Amino acid sequence: MQTKVFIDGEHGTTGLQIRKRLAARDDLEILSIPLEDRHNEAARLERLNAADIAILCLPDKAAIDTVNSLAGNVKIRIIDSSTAHRIAPDWVYGFAELTKGQPERISSARFVANPGCYPTGALSIIRPLREAGIIGEDFPVSINAVSGYTGGGKKMIAQMEDPSCDEKITANYFIYGLNLKHKHVPEIRVHGKLSHSPIFLPSVGRFPQGMIVNIPIHNSLLQKTVTTDVLRSIFKAHYHDSKLVSVANEQETGNLARLDAELLANTDKLKIFVFGDDSDGIYNISAVLDNLGKGASGAAVQNLDLMIGKS
């Protein structure tokens, strides 16, 4: 029997990517609204209430309003790609590789909060270090990251690609979130099990898809002294069962002269790289992913598959 899926906001950047990934699936019935009818509220509500699983690709307020409007529908299950429910107690965080047992929690959940792209990269580094006892809850986490411009949605895509756009962006690279209050900080703090907010410095480059998230650490601040080999073994142990998250080995890392943010563009994978100088006890751990893949639409499809028992 086919699972009925409605992508609420299927014509936006994330929704289109999810729709593309599900196009060839014969185990799903996709309940769709034509582009010209996307503002038809009656059609939208009809499909929401007919769905087994709804994937919300909406702004935060619209996602909250939609969830509230479905309070009487005890059948529907929801994956929300907005930031609205990522630290809500009744929602399961949809980063399957976060910790042991997370895939099972997602598979049995009614409400799943799809992670953000930056938090996916950051938490892929922070959580293994926390669980291995390398960093404490009060560790001063600093996150430096760059994303492809598609992470800014249709508006930023137009600003980067359309020369006639009134608000076009001419910079090839820029930092934003300058007040250090980016909307992703709470979910990184909560799911990273940190007692203090991390310093998060996001940036955007003039490339469509891809991402690098960097977290530097220093032995003088750690709970346990590490080496590059120790760090690499921690990540390999954490992700040894994962099909989507891998860890670069010593040879691959050592042969790199540069790390490309577009390395995993157009995939749903994530890769961890450990760089360091053991003599000085200084390290940088990098996570590379596609901001629209493992950082958004790919994660939503992964969560959908877990919820319908397909891994």
Q: List pLDDT tens digits, range 199-258.
A: 999 999 999 999 999 999 999 999 999 999 999 999 999 999 999 999 999 999 999 999
> What mean pLDDT value characterizes the chain?
96
Q: List pLDDT tens digits, range 86-119.
A: 999 999 999 999 999 999 999 999 999 999 999 9
Q: List pLDDT tens digits, range 238-250.
A: 999 999 999 999 9
Query: Which pLDDT band holds residue 64 (cuts at 50, 70, 90)?
Result: very high
pLDDT of residue 112: 98
Buried b / exposed e along 195-204 (16+ C-beta atoms within 10 A): eeebebbbeb
Q: Long-range contact list for 162-168, CB < 8 A, 24+ apart? A: none
Catalytic residues, by residue number, are 117
Q: What are phi and psi of 157, to 5 degrees?
A: -60, -45
pLDDT of residue 310: 87
Q: What are phi and psi of 55, to 5 degrees?
A: -110, 115
What domains are defined for the chain? 3-115+296-307 (3.40.50.720), 117-291 (3.30.360.10)
Nearest to 98 by CA among 310, 304, 294: 294
Nearest to 266 by CA among 204, 207, 307: 207
Query: Which pLDDT band holds residue 39 (cuts at 50, 70, 90)?
Result: confident
Q: What H or E segment, with its residue span, contains residue 143?
A: strand 142-148
pLDDT of residue 1: 80
Count Cβ atoms within 10 A of the Cβ of residue 159 and give its class: 0-12 exposed, 13-18 middle, 19 or more buried: middle
Average pLDDT (65-70) is 94
Q: List pLDDT tens digits, range 131-143.
A: 999 999 999 999 9
- 50: tokens are 């007919």
